Structure 1
Amino acid sequence: MVFWSLLLSVYILLSLDTVSALYAFIGASFMVMSFMLSSRWYHVMILLMILEMFMLMLFVSLSLCLSLASFSSGCLFIFITLSVAEASVGMSLLTMMVRSNGNDYMGAVIF
């Protein structure tokens, strides 16, 4: 059953044009990363890596949309600046948490 679903998804991706296939790949990546984010919520380091993967996929999506629409790339620089600021805040919070608790494992029940 898995083989046939994989074969069907490959057929669908090959029947699309390049931009639509790229959008389908980005959407599937977002779904996989959302599942990873919801299943691995208790380690802060893994959460930060998944959030950075989200930022990278958003950057690729934004740059693709801007290049197709022939807009300037000024907002890309703002996006990169904000993602770097987010990463530095995340790393500082991780450092503070490791210094206070000794590890990055969150023992609190969130869900």
Structure 2
Amino acid sequence: MSGTSGSRVGKVEAAAVAAGRMGQRKLAAGSRVAMRLWAAQQPSEGEPEVAREYETVGYAVSGRARLRAEDQTIELGPGDSWVVPAGVSHTYEILEPFTAVEATSPPAQEADRDAPPS
């Protein structure tokens, strides 16, 4: 379900969830917001920092991660939520297998906005 708008209600079946190139699972998406799941991401030092065209809000389901955004470092654990404004350079270091749900606005998957950094 991508680009749903107006009064149309839709559902994304778990079996139909597409995987992105960075390991994210693309969940429901509307015309102004999209959700994605990062399931059991394994420990890593993180990718180089990148600034995205979209705002991200997230919720940590399990595990631990460290969000580095410009001059800030934020520890994330189960039950924590966060915001990364559009245009802010950031990266995530995964400390323990980490599962999180994020919403992006505008939808990250449109126009390949969530492609891996080059």
Higher Cα radius of gyration:
1
TM-score tier by shorter-chain length is under 0.3
Give me the TM-score of the superposition, normalised by structure 1: 0.22
Give me the TM-score of the superposition, normalised by structure 2: 0.21
Which has the larger share of strand? 2
Which has the larger share of helix? 1
